[in-house]
């Protein structure tokens, strides 16, 4: 189950890139691509296109240190020759004139222990537990904004799901069309999470 969850998070993070770009959230899109790029071995047939997209989007979002990290990987001899001509010079320039400036990522509290950590880092650095994944943003959910899609029942931040629905009209995970008013913050999200986990365990 853990491996399946990890794979789902990676695949959905990649799907979210297009959604976030449409919303004008280039930082969010860049962080989703960075998440995928860190596990690039899971996508052996798409290494160069994914890393290229990551570099370009990170550069656009001002995440220059992260862009440099992945641009440097692309300069490896076995990858360099496969970079599309339209991007090759730009990526070479990023490596040749390194800029490591980058603002720290916004943080949010772990739903398990309240320790703060980067919003897109699902595993808490303090307690080691995984925070639920928001299907509308790719960030951790937060206790005060924790909701679920009325179609697939996957977790989300209510505010982020409303933002996506206002633009797209449908859940980015299941494609079910939903009204903005159907997204409601859970009264007792930790209890709801325990019940959901118990139900899954019984199914297995």
**pLDDT, tens only, 127-148:** 999 999 999 999 999 999 999 9
Q: Which of 185, 166, 164 is nearest to 29 (CA)?
A: 164
Q: What is the CB-side half-sphere exposure of residue 177 using CA atoms within 13 A?
A: 1
d(CA 141, CA 139): 6
Q: What angle do CA 28, 34, 40 make, to 5 degrees?
A: 145
Average pLDDT (48-75) is 98
Instruction: Inform me whether the pLDDT recorded for 1 exceeds 60.
Output: no
**Using the 8-state DSSP alphabet, how is residue 31 labeled?**
H
Average pLDDT over residues 176-197: 92
Entry pTM: 0.94
Is the per-residue pLDDT at 186 higher than 70?
yes
Strand partners, 109: 116
Interacting residues of 179 by C-beta distance below 8 A, sequence separation 6+: 165
* Whole-number Å distance between alpha carbons of 193 and 199: 10
Q: What is the pLDDT of residue 12?
A: 98
Rounded Cα distance between 190 and 142, Å, is 10
- Locate 169 and state its tokens: 């009209």
Tokens encoding 155: 């977790």
> Tell me, what's the pLDDT at 193?
86
CA dist 136 → 69, 89, 101, 147, 195 (Å):
26, 34, 28, 11, 22
Numbers of helices and strands, H then E, in the chain: 8, 4
Length, in residues, of the chain: 204
Q: Is the predicted pLDDT of residue 118 greater than 60, yes or no?
A: yes
Report the 10 Å Cβ neighbour count for 199: 9
Share of the chain above pLDDT 70, in %: 99
Please give the DSSP secondary-structure letter assigned to residue 132.
P
- DSSP state letter for 148: E
Q: How many other C-beta atoms can be found within 10 angstroms of the C-beta atom of residue 45?
A: 7
Cα separation, 147 vs 167, whole angstroms: 18
Q: Rounded mean pLDDT of 173-193?
A: 94
Helix (H) or strand (E) holding 156: strand 155-157
pLDDT at 204 over 70: no
């Amino acid at each position: 189950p853990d491996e399946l969850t990890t794979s789902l998070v990676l695949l959905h993070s990649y799907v979210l890139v297009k959604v976030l770009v449409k919303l004008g959230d280039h930082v969010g899109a860049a962080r989703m691509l960075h998440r995928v790029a860190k596990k690039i071995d899971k996508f052996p047939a798409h290494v160069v296109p994914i890393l290229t997209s990551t570099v370009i989007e990170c550069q656009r979002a001002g995440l220059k240190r992260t862009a440099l990290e992945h641009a440097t990987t692309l300069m490896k001899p076995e990858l360099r020759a496969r970079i599309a001509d339209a991007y090759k010079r730009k990526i070479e320039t990023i490596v040749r004139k390194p800029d490591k400036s980058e603002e720290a990522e916004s943080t949010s509290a772990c739903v398990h222990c309240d320790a703060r950590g980067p919003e897109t880092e699902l595993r808490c650095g303090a307690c080691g537990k995984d925070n639920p994944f928001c299907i509308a943003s790719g960030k951790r959910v937060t206790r005060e904004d924790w909701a679920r899609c009325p179609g697939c029942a996957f977790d989300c931040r209510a505010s982020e799901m409303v933002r996506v629905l206002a633009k797209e009209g449908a859940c980015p995970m299941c494609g079910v069309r939903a009204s903005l008013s159907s997204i409601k913050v859970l009264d007792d999200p930790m209890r709801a999470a325990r019940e959901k986990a118990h139900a899954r365990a019984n199914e297995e």
